[in-house]
């Protein structure tokens, strides 16, 4: 695995996260839907959880909680500054190094055996795929409640020449 | 029946730090996850005749087949598979994974940045590289798998977890396609 491909996946992830947030915030029902809020919170919490792992930050520190959707969105947005700073510390050699996952006991219970060794790059790929999976569910829920889900395919981002993320309520620098 | 993880270990070792490893992982995981998704569907009685389930599965496999045909510079039939029943659709999906692994075994690292012409797409759009189209189809399947699993739960199904990291923790197992 190479760092260039991973970084592109994260740039797409930010673009796609911003697109779905824009669509949800443009929907009167979407803005107040509790299921959408739960999906977003889970998506962003997992993004932050793995960043903590890579940066060896204490796992026990509580995550913030949000009543306000805009605050939740801003939390999600704040992740990207941190993750792209983290990318600056990585190299192709570094990302294939093994990483110890501190919640391996929980994993062992779930999969019924001790987990195999994983690498930084595999955990980084997990985050983008996890967000893609739940973004699909967010768009599906948005359609159920009458909203208009955006096209967030990786190929659409490529066809559009890999645009920067355009977050609602945030003026790009 | 075991189908996936046919990319030979020798090739894996040659390419330690490169993109082709990423691609192999994405496709092998996709095969494993699709097999689990099908098992979850076939174990849910209410899903067997469900039109939404059929349409979501069909969309996933239609796009997988379409991209394989594009890579092979063959014509794409946008209506392929529409007249299948559920089990024929499963067989079509299973066959795809065997075929795509054969195709990927012929791809070299140097091929990955080659631009890929996609028929019927507006020519003002930027052409993707072969690597980017590989990422597209594997992430597209993940996205729609998430939607299908959400729907399956809503009609009483108990779907298996298909996270990439679970596949890694399990030692990147081969896929077992469920036979009902």
What SS3 state is found at B115? Answer: strand
- Concatenating the DSSP letter of every residue in B120-165 gives TS-TTSPPPBHHHHHHHHHHHHHHHHHHHHHHHHHTT--PPP--HH
For residue B9, pLDDT beyond 60: no
| Contact between chains at A129 and B139 (C-beta distance less than 8 A) | yes
| Contact between chains at A1 and B133 (C-beta distance less than 8 A) | no
Contacts across the A-B interface (CB distance below 8 Å): 116
Burial class of residue A173 in the structure, from the number of CB atoms within 10 Å of its CB (0-12 exposed, 13-18 middle, 19+ buried)? exposed
- From chain B, pick out residues whose CB is under 8 angstroms from the CB of A136: 142-147, 150
- From chain A, pick out residues whose CB is under 8 angstroms from the CB of B59: none
Contact B153, B9 (CB under 8 A): no
Give the helix ranges, DSSP H, for chain B. Answer: 9-14, 19-42, 45-48, 51-71, 86-105, 130-154, 164-169
Tens digits of residue pLDDT in A51-108: 999 999 988 889 999 999 999 999 999 999 999 999 999 998 899 999 988 888 888 8
Tens digits of residue pLDDT in A17-32: 999 999 999 999 999 9
How many angstroms separate the most distant Cα atoms in chain B? Answer: 47
Contact A41, A67 (CB under 8 A): no
Residues 86-125 of A with CB under 8 A from B: 92-93, 96, 107, 110-111, 113, 115-116, 118, 121-123, 125
Across the interface, which of A116, A153, A158 has its CB nearest the CB of B126? A158
- From chain A, pick out residues whose CB is under 8 angstroms from the CB of B135: 5, 9, 154
Contact A72, A44 (CB under 8 A): yes
Across the interface, which of A96, A110, A129 has its CB nearest the CB of B142? A129
Cα–Cα distance, A165 to A13 (Å, whole number): 9
Residue of A nearest to B148 (CA): A137
Cα–Cα distance, A166 to B4 (Å, whole number): 39
| Contact between chains at B144 and A96 (C-beta distance less than 8 A) | no
Residues near B114 by beta carbon (within 8 Å), at least 6 away in sequence: B129, B130
Tens digits of residue pLDDT in B43-99: 999 999 999 999 999 999 999 999 999 999 999 999 999 999 999 999 999 999 999
User: Average pLDDT, stretch A3-12?
Assistant: 94
| Contact between chains at A123 and B170 (C-beta distance less than 8 A) | no
Q: Does A170 lie at the interface with B, CB-CB under 8 angstroms?
A: no
| Contact between chains at B164 and A122 (C-beta distance less than 8 A) | yes
Using alpha carbons, select from B109, B99, B108 the residue that is nearest to residue B72: B99
Query: Of how many residues is chain B composed?
Result: 180
Tens digits of residue pLDDT in A110-153: 889 899 999 999 999 999 999 999 999 999 999 999 999 999 99
Using alpha carbons, select from A73, A60, A74 the residue that is nearest to residue A21: A73
CA distance B156 to chain A (A): 17
ipTM: 0.95
Residue A102 is predicted with a pLDDT of 85
Using alpha carbons, select from B24, B3, B2, B4 the residue that is nearest to residue B12: B24
Q: Does A68 lie at the interface with B, CB-CB under 8 angstroms?
A: no
State the Cα angle at B144 between B89 and B73, rounded to 5°: 65
Count of Cβ atoms closer than 10 Å to residue B55 Cβ: 12
| Contact between chains at B164 and A135 (C-beta distance less than 8 A) | no
């Amino acid at each position: 695995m190479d760092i260039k491909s991973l970084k592109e996946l994260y740039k797409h992830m930010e673009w796609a996260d911003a697109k779905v947030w824009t669509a949800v915030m443009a929907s009167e029902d979407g803005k107040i839907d509790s299921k959408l809020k739960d999906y977003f919170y889970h998506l962003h919490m997992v993004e932050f959880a793995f960043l903590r792992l890579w940066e060896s930050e204490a796992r026990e520190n509580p995550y913030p909680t949000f009543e306000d959707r805009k605050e939740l969105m801003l939390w999600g947005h704040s992740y990207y500054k941190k993750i792209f700073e983290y990318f600056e510390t990585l190299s192709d050699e570094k990302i294939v190094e093994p990483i110890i996952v501190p919640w391996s006991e929980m994993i062992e219970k779930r999969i019924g055996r001790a987990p195999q060794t994983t690498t930084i790059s595999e955990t980084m790929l997990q985050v983008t795929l996890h967000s893609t999976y739940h973004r699909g569910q967010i768009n599906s829920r948005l359609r159920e409640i009458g909203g208009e889900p955006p096209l967030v395919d990786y190929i659409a981002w490529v066809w559009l020449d890999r645009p920067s993320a355009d977050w609602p309520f945030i003026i790009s620098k | 029946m075991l189908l996936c993880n046919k990319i030979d270990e020798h090739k894996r070792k040659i390419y330690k730090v490169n993109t082709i490893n990423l691609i192999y992982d994405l496709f092998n995981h996709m095969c494993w996850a699709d097999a689990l998704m099908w098992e979850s569907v076939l174990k849910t009685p209410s899903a067997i005749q469900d039109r939404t389930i059929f349409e979501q599965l069909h969309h996933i496999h239609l796009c997988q087949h379409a991209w394989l045909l594009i890579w092979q510079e063959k014509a794409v039939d946008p209506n392929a598979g529409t007249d299948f029943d559920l089990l024929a659709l499963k067989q079509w999906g299973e066959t795809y994974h065997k075929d795509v692994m054969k195709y990927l075994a012929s791809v070299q690292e140097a091929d990955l940045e080659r631009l890929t012409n996609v028929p019927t797409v507006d020519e003002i759009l930027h052409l993707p590289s072969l690597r980017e189209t590989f990422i597209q189809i594997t992430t597209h399947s993940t996205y729609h798998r998430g939607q299908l699993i959400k729907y399956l739960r809503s009609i009483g199904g108990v779907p298996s977890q298909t996270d990439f990291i679970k596949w890694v923790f399990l030692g990147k197992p081969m896929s077992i396609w469920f036979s009902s």
